[in-house]
Chains A and B, each alone.
Chain A
Amino acid sequence: MIKYTNEHEWLRIEGDIVVIGVTPYAAEQLGDVVFVELPDVGKSFSQNDDMAVVESVKAASDVYAPISGEIVEVNDVIVEEPSKVNEDPAGEAWFVKMRVSDSSQLDALMDEAAYKEFLENV
């Protein structure tokens, strides 16, 4: 199941782990990504904390933790090759995997249909 935030992040739910990345819309808005900074594995975040940094030719932007939880894995591929964020934001260029601490937060996020509607009004 995929969920979306109004900060243009996607979350793929795999049991008590969620895979988190930015949406193609976010990648397009950022422009060419040139630098990605990811958190350390084991670090815990509360929902909406600054979790990662994405720098493009336009600006540096924070990526917020879409839910509360602990980082269990990060995707070093996008640190080595930031261009992947533009090439395949919804697939290969995932950012982190998190262990969910409060699964009720997931229920409040948008599903695909809701996110599509949200995009139309951006």
Chain B
Amino acid sequence: MSKITFTGNKALQIEEALIFEVSDFSRTGVDLPAPTGKTTRLGGVARESAIGLPGLSEPETMRHYVRLSQKNYAIDMGPFPLGSCTMKHNPRLNEKMARLPGFGDIHPLQPEKTVQGALELIDTLAFWLKELTGMPAVAMSPKAGAHGELCGMMAIKAALEARGESATRTRVLAPESSHGTNPATAAQCGFTVDNIPADSSGRIDLEAFRAKLGPDIAGVMVTNPNTCGLFERDICAISEAVHEAGGYFYCDGANFNAIAGKARPGDLGVDAMHINLHKTFSTPHGGGGPGSGPTVFSKSLAPYAPVPNVISENGVYRLVESLQATGSEDDGVKSFGRLTAFHGQMGMFVRALAYMLSHGIDGVAQAAEDAVLNANYVLALLRKEMTPAFDGYCMHECLFDDRFLKGTGVETLDFAKAMIDEGYHPMTMYFPLVVHGAMLIEPTESESKHELDLFCGALLSLAKRAKAGEVDAFRAAPEHSPCRRLDETTAARKPILRWTPPPTVNEVE
């Protein structure tokens, strides 16, 4: 930030340095008595220099972190239109429930009899996830979407091994527009990945797909609605074809929020699908976590689901922790093992169930309807100045390409940076890769018409300015943010990964 005031602050926008740069050991807010009693047993490995912790008073510490939090952009501050990410409002009821001591203050190693309520909650959530997806089994332990994908593909691998076909069925098909985690997961499981081309409407080219099937097919990974925000209309034909070829159908459930309560993946022939609780069921995410990706399974894959899972016997809940724990010899359980140390993301389970139960099935369905309605409203408004990548209606997110910027000198990146000046987090840019200069907007269902009008008004005004030749302003954007355009290229080419103290601080002993 250029220094225009004595402090460097701009009114309430406080310039905040790193905590080590503002600290002074003499201002440390705690004053612990020197330890007495035992002498150190560290011998030659005892630290000789000062440890270098920051020194701040309690109010200074408080202010530092509050100021940093104010520099963040969050769904609680404004619309968060990141396509494919489903940045939903996080109802406060969910937070209240997750903090109940019976859910928030427990430990996974507690005896089962002391956590019956928590186990019942996991079982109840599992029931509703199976109900909403029309699938007979669910693994609750995956910690995120990609982890759920891994869970699903490991189950497919285990099923192929049980059939004695793991050596011959090695190829997985995935659309060109798929989330990058799809081919990555398949490769991680030892499969080779083959792209399925799209047709001119942005959907899977069914004939090209059929032509790629063969006796070496392990399965197909399809997101529905897909990453272009379009419903794969041929989904049933796709599942029939892959089953006929002897493969399994993995559905990436990242966009389940568009169809939850409206359509059941089990009815569409899906064999495995992860559910992003942090998207569809509104648990908070961003900045890397915490996700939660329970994975549902069809009858053919259910025996291979990982442990642990919760079962109830005579009103008592218990965890099935080992592969043969159900007791009977011929129960058909051939679990591929364990994905995580414990049972899953308990805090996210509580929030997701609170969301489901407070909305009811009609509310869950309406959330999907409103998500689709909002995205189509945005698509209809922005169509006046921007160029939709594909014709027709969209599902929960709308995709634009950069044709409307052609000849203006403004690129997708500049357009996104100019949105920051308007007070918006940019949409998803340059994804999916199949669309040139992609801009993927997911408005989420909780945005009101007023918010959407304001958002679209800002984007239409930017599009007009770009076409009117204001290229220099776009290239200089953002102008009003605490930091101007960051040099992402140098940051990526020559990253500085470690903070080194200014020499003056270092020399104070």
B residues 451-509 near A (Cβ < 8 Å) are 488-489, 492-493
Q: How many residues of B sit at the interface, in one of the four size bands? A: 10 to 19
Query: Nearest residue in B to A32 (C-beta to C-beta)?
Result: B489
Q: Does A89 contact B (CB under 8 A)?
A: no
Tell me if B430 and A35 are in contact (CB < 8 A): no
Chain A 26-42 per-residue mask, 1 if CB under 8 angstroms from chain B, else 0: 00000010110000000
Query: A59 contacts which chain B residues (CB < 8 A)?
Result: 430-431, 433
Contact A34 B492 (CB under 8 A): yes
- Indicate whether A82 reaches chain B with its CB closer than 8 angstroms: yes
- Verify B431–A57 contact, CB threshold 8 A: no
Partner of B430, one of A34, A55, A58, A82: A58
| Chain A residue contacts of B429, Cβ below 8 A | 58
Nearest residue in A to B430 (C-beta to C-beta)?
A: A58
- A residues contacting the other copy or chain, number (CB 8 A): 11
Residues of A within 8 A of B413 (CB): 57-58
Minimal Cβ-Cβ distance residue in A for B433: A59
In the complex, the answer to whether B431 meets A35 with C-beta atoms within 8 Å is no
Q: Convert A9-34 into 0s and 1s, putting 1 for each residue whose CB lies closer than 8 angstroms to a CB of B.
A: 00000000000000000000000101
**Bound Cα distance A59, B429 (Å):** 10
Q: A83 contacts which of B180, B488, B493 (Cβ < 8 Å)?
A: B493
Which residues 388-416 of B have a CB within 8 angstroms of A? 413
* Identity of the chain A residue whose Cβ is nearest the Cβ of B429 in the assembled complex: A58
A115-B332 Cα distance, complex, nearest whole Å = 58
Q: Which of B413, B430, B433, B489 has the most CB of A within 10 A?
A: B489
Q: How far is the CA of A72 from the CA of B268 in the complex (A)?
A: 49
Q: Which of A35, A57, A61, A82 contacts B488 (CB 8 A)?
A: A57
Beta-carbon nearest neighbor of A122 in chain B:
B436
Q: Are the CB atoms of A35 and B433 closer together than 8 Å?
A: no
A24 CB to closest chain B CB, in angstroms?
17
Give the chain A neighbours of B493 by CB distance below 8 A.
32, 34, 82-83
Contact B489 A57 (CB under 8 A): yes
The reply to whether A57 and B433 form a contact with Cβ atoms under 8 Å apart is no
Cα separation A35 to B180 with both chains bound (whole Å): 17
Within B190-214, the residues touching A (CB, 8 Å) are none
- A57 neighbours in B (Cβ, 8 Å): 413, 488-489, 492
Binary A-proximity of B282-299 (CB < 8 A = 1, otherwise 0): 000000000000000000
* CB–CB B431/A34 < 8 A: no
Complex contacts, B180 vs chain A, CB 8 Å: 60
A59 and B492 CA atoms in complex are apart in Å by 12
Q: How far is the CA of A45 from the CA of B67 in the complex (A)?
A: 53
How far, in angstroms, from A42 to B489 measured CA to CA in the complex? 32
In Å, the complex CA distance between A35 and B489 comes to 10
Interface string of B424-443 (1 = CB under 8 A from A): 00000111010000000000
A34-B489, A34-B492, A57-B492 known, 9 other contacts, Cβ within 8 Å: A32-B492, A32-B493, A55-B492, A57-B488, A57-B489, A58-B413, A58-B430, A59-B430, A83-B493
The chain B residues found within 8 Å of chain A, CB to CB, are 180, 413, 429-431, 433, 488-489, 492-493
Closest 5 pairs (CB-CB, A-B): A34-B492, A32-B489, A58-B430, A57-B488, A34-B493
8 A-B pairs (CB sep. < 8 Å):
A32-B489, A32-B493, A55-B492, A57-B488, A58-B429, A59-B431, A59-B433, A61-B433
